[in-house]
Amino acid sequence: MSIQHYLKMIDNASVAQRCHAAAALAHIYLQTDLEFDERCSTEAVLTLLLDDPSPKVRLALAEAFSTSAHAPVHIVASLARDQIEVATYILGRSTLLSDTDLIDCVAGGGCEAQRIIAARPKVSFAVSAAIIEIGETVAVLELLSNTQAQIADISFRRLIERLGHIGEIRSLLVEDERLPADCRHTLAIRIAEALCQMDMVMALMGERRAKRIAQEACIRASISLVAATPSEEYPALIEHLQLRGDLTTAFVIRIVAAGKIDFFGAILVALSGHNLARVRSLLIDGRATALNALFGAAGLPDSTYRPLGVALQAWRGVASGKLAIGSQEVILRMIEQIAPDNRATGTVPPAANDDMLSLLKRLYLDAIRENAREHALAIAAA
For residues 99-110, give the mean pLDDT: 93
Burial class (CB in 10 A: 0-12, 13-18, 19+), 357: middle
Distance (Å) of CA 48 to CA 10, 78, 304, 376: 11, 12, 78, 75
CA torsion through residues 105, 106, 111, 116, sign: positive
Residues 72-87 have a mean pLDDT of 94
Lowest mean pLDDT of 152-161, 207-216, 337-346, name the range.
337-346
The radius of gyration of the chain's CA atoms, rounded to the nearest angstrom, is: 32
- What is the phi/psi pair of residue 325, to 5°? -130, 170
Pairwise CA distance, residues 368 & 363, whole Å = 9
Q: How far apart are CA 300 and CA 238, in angstroms?
A: 15
156-165, 222-231, 232-241: the lowest-pLDDT one: 222-231
Highest mean pLDDT among 206-220, 261-275, 335-349: 261-275
Query: How would residue 3 be classed by pLDDT, with cut points 50, 70 and 90?
Result: low
Instruction: Yes or no: say if 258 and 203 are a contact pair by the CB < 8 Å rule.
Output: no
The band of 225, judged by pLDDT with boundaries at 50, 70 and 90, is confident
pLDDT exceeds 60 at position 63: yes
The overall average pLDDT reported for the chain is: 86
Q: How confident is the model at residue 24 (pLDDT cuts 50, 70, 90)?
A: confident
Rounded to an integer, the average pLDDT of 38-66 is 89
Asked which of 171-185, 244-258, 365-379 is least confident by mean pLDDT, the reply is: 365-379
320-337 average pLDDT score: 90
CA atoms in the 13 A half-sphere facing the CB of 45: 24
Q: Does pLDDT of 32 surpass 80?
A: no
pLDDT of residue 340: 63
Q: CA-to-CA distance for 130 and 307, rounded, in angstroms?
A: 49
Residue 49: the pLDDT is 87
Nearest to 141 by CA among 110, 169, 102, 112: 169
At residue 245, the pLDDT reads: 86
Range scoring the smallest mean pLDDT among 71-80, 181-190, 284-293, 310-319: 181-190
Q: Are 78 and 52 in contact (CB under 8 A)?
A: no
Q: pLDDT tier at 116 (50, 70, 90 boundaries)?
A: very high
Contact of 199 with 173, CB cutoff 8 Å: no
The pLDDT of residue 5:
66
Confidence of residue 333 (pLDDT cuts 50, 70, 90): very high
